[in-house]
Structure formats: structure tokens, C-alpha cells
Amino acid sequence: MATRWLGRGRVSGGAARDAAREGSVSAMVNKTDRKDARGIAQLLRMGWFRPVHAKSPGAHEVRALLVARKLLLQTKLLDVEFSIRGILRGFGLKMGEVSEGLFVARARELALGHPMLEPITEPMLRAREALRTEYARLHGEVLAIAKPDPVCRRLMTAPGVGAVVAITFKSAVDDPGRFIRSRALGAYFGLTPKKYQPGSAM
């Protein structure tokens, strides 16, 4: 919240100041708030002010939701699963390929009867289940935002584009009016063709 509040404080006339440009010009050995403010004022007097896009509060909130969802799925949940597999493997017990629904049953089957593995794996399996529950809740929040949104619904008509991809793209673009032409949007996401890529102009 503090970072977003500070970001809003930098907004002037619908655009934010280019912080990277300011930092490169107003760098100083003994940096203080007073000297920093004086340096920024000097940049404005010199006409070096360059407006950049400031994402809307709605886009910030959606991005925060997506980050939290990804954290639970790819970082915490998978870490717990890999740890369980690694602990069992250390005792010569391999889970092999198993679906999400059968993961718990397979882990308990392998740990059954082992005086040390059972008390180790059970808390980790409970933690995994709690993470899955919270992940499902966050994923439901994403769907609740994406499904009724007309832009997301239009994007989801494209093959392979689901709710998560659609809302991620929409929140990243935020304001389509800031892109003069479509190829500028591609460059914004790093989708620039190589010089001699097939199908491009030579």
C-alpha cells in the first residue's frame, strides 16, 4: 500500500515522472530528501521532464492478485510437493508420475508403517492441502474478475487464451490509448521480430 501511495504521489497530469531518468541525472554522493527534491526541481526547470504511464489502481490490484496466485501455485505449493518427493526418495521410495488427486494417497501409501516418515509427511500433506485451498480461493477471485469483463471475454475467444492469460494481458496493457500503433504494443511486451525472421520485411 505504501509503494502504491508513493507512486500516486508522483503522478502529475495523468502521467508519472520517469524515475529512472531522474535517478541517472540527480545521482549524488550524500543523498538526502532535500537534495533529491532540489535535483528534481532542477530537472523540471531544464525541461528534462518526461511523462511515463502510471498504471491505474484497478490494474495494480489485479497484478497483486496474480502475483499472490502465482506465489501459492508455483513457489509454495510445488516446493512442498517436491520436498515430500525428496524425503521419500531419500528412503528409496519413489512416487513416480501421479495425478494431483492421487498425490496424498500415494505419499501416505509409501510412508505407511515407517516410524519416522509418517509423522514427517503428514504435517507436510496438511500444509499442501491448505495451500491448495487458498490457491483455489485466489483462482476463483481471478475468474470472478475476468469472466464478466467484456475485454477479457473477447480475448478468451482466441484459441488457447483462458481467464488468467486474458486478465494478465489486460492489466499489463491497462490503457490501450497510450499505444499509437499495434506494433508498439508488441515491442512493449518484447515481441519484436528479428531482422531476418521469416515472414518479416527484409
For the stretch 180-198, pLDDT in tens is: 877 777 777 777 665 555 5
Q: Count the Cβ atoms, other than its own, within 10 Å of residue 44.
A: 12
Map grid coordinates 487464451 to a residue: 161
Cα 13 from chain centroid (whole Å):
28
Global pTM reads 0.62
User: Under a CB-based contact definition with an 8 Å cutoff, are residues 172 and 60 in contact?
Assistant: no
**What are 48-99's pLDDT values in tens digits?**
666 666 777 778 788 888 888 888 777 888 899 999 999 999 999 999 898 8
118 Cβ contact partners less than 8 Å away, ≥ 6 residues apart: 111, 112
**What are 110-169's pLDDT values in tens digits?**
999 888 999 999 999 999 999 889 888 999 999 999 999 999 999 999 999 999 999 998
Q: What is the distance between the alpha carbons of residues 63 and 61, in angstroms, rounded to a whole number?
A: 5
CA torsion 73→77→82→85, rounded to 10°? -130
Q: Quick one: pLDDT at residue 187?
A: 75
Q: Quick one: pLDDT at residue 34?
A: 78
> 173 is written with which cell numbers?
496493457
Q: E strands within the chain?
A: 11-12, 15-17, 51-52
Q: Quick one: pLDDT at residue 13?
A: 42
2 Cβ contact partners less than 8 Å away, ≥ 6 residues apart: none
Cα atoms found within 13 Å of the Cα of residue 71, Cβ hemisphere only: 8
